[in-house]
Amino acid sequence: MLRSEKDLSRTISGGIIAGLVAAAFLTLMMTVMSAARGTDIWFGMKGAAEPFLAERAMQPGFDFFAVWLGLMCHAAVSVAWAVPFALLAEQLSPLATIGAGAAWGLVVWIGMFYVVLPLFGLGSMRHDAPISRAILYHVFFGVAVALAYLGYQRSEHRVRRRVLAHA
**How much is the pLDDT for 6?**
84
**How much is the pLDDT for 7?**
83
Q: Is 2 helix (H, G, I), strand (E, B) or coil?
A: coil
Q: pTM of the entire structure? A: 0.82
Report the run of H or E that residue 50 belongs to, with start and end: helix 50-53
CA 165 → CA 6, 160, 162, distances in Å?
27, 8, 5
For the chain, which ranges sit under pLDDT 50?
A: 157
Q: Smallest Cα–Cα separation from 149: which of 25, 3, 4, 40?
A: 25
**How much is the pLDDT for 102?**
97
**How much is the pLDDT for 5?**
84
What gap in Å lies between CA 93 and CA 97, rounded to an integer?
6
Give residues with Cβ within 8 angstroms of 115, minimum separation 6. none
Other CB atoms within a 10 A radius of the CB of residue 45 amount to: 23
**How much is the pLDDT for 87?**
94
Burial class (CB in 10 A: 0-12, 13-18, 19+), 58: middle
